[in-house]
Amino acid sequence: MTKLHEFFSFAIQLNLYWVILVALLYIIIHNYRNKPINRILDIYLNYIPVLTHEFGHILFNKISGGKAKDLVIVASPTERMETSQQGYAITQSKHRLGQTITTFGGYVMPPLMLLLGFWAIDTQYPSLFIASYLLIFVYFLILTSRKLVPIIMIILLFTLLYLLFQNDNHFMMFYILTITYHFILAVLLGEVLQSSWTIFRLTFSQQSISWDGSTLKELTRIPTFLYSIIWITINLFTVYQLFLSYFLAN
């Protein structure tokens, strides 16, 4: 109980410049992901953003009364290159509206989680943000048909936590939690910025590409660019709020 109390009561001193630096690194690596080393780095860096995006589909599917069947994060560089897929969620909706809500939720989730992360720091409860991702990951492990990579990650995580608790190393535990928190915020910020450009590019692409925007157009007969405007507005509003809170406030 003491360890749990320490976990839920720890505070983080946010270093926003490190968050921005890693976010920029995320964008650079993602845009040059065709290079051999970047193919692997891109998977490590955007594993959480892709999980967040796909979980957004599932969460909105649940809200609309649907059923989730699978959630996959593509962890193979070769498969990503061949399929152009970073991940996917397989869901079942009861009606067209539910399918529309499910599809819409993917791009909404990363900015929402980014806001939650900064809000948790402001309210002195950063552990809630970490705990939310632990719950998402456990749900992902239960649901996914590809369990090898998440099982390995769970084993490594619990081994690390066990060693920390056994040695009663408060400083190291705080240090790891702080690094983890900054990393998640950074890759989410990078994804929010990167996805805004991706949405813009896909919206005005001359090629016929299947993505969330084109799927929504087929479902609702509403032009793709209207959904794109909503997604990009949410992303930019999130970044703007962070800018107001952490730069202009000082």
For the chain, what are the domain ranges? Answer: 2-248
Confidence of residue 238 (pLDDT cuts 50, 70, 90): very high
Confidence of residue 11 (pLDDT cuts 50, 70, 90): confident
Tell me the pLDDT tens digit for each residue of 48-58. Answer: 999 999 999 99
pTM beyond 0.85: the answer is yes
Confidence of residue 247 (pLDDT cuts 50, 70, 90): low
**Minimal CA–CA distance to 110: which of 156, 68, 61, 52?**
52
Site of tokens 């690194």: 25
Classified as helix, coil or strand, 67 is strand
Q: How far apart are CA 23 and CA 190, in angstroms?
A: 4
Q: What is the pLDDT of residue 27?
A: 97
Single-letter residue type at 33: R
Distance between start and end Cα atoms, the chain: 38
Tell me the pLDDT tens digit for each residue of 31-72. Answer: 999 888 999 999 999 999 999 999 999 999 999 999 999 999
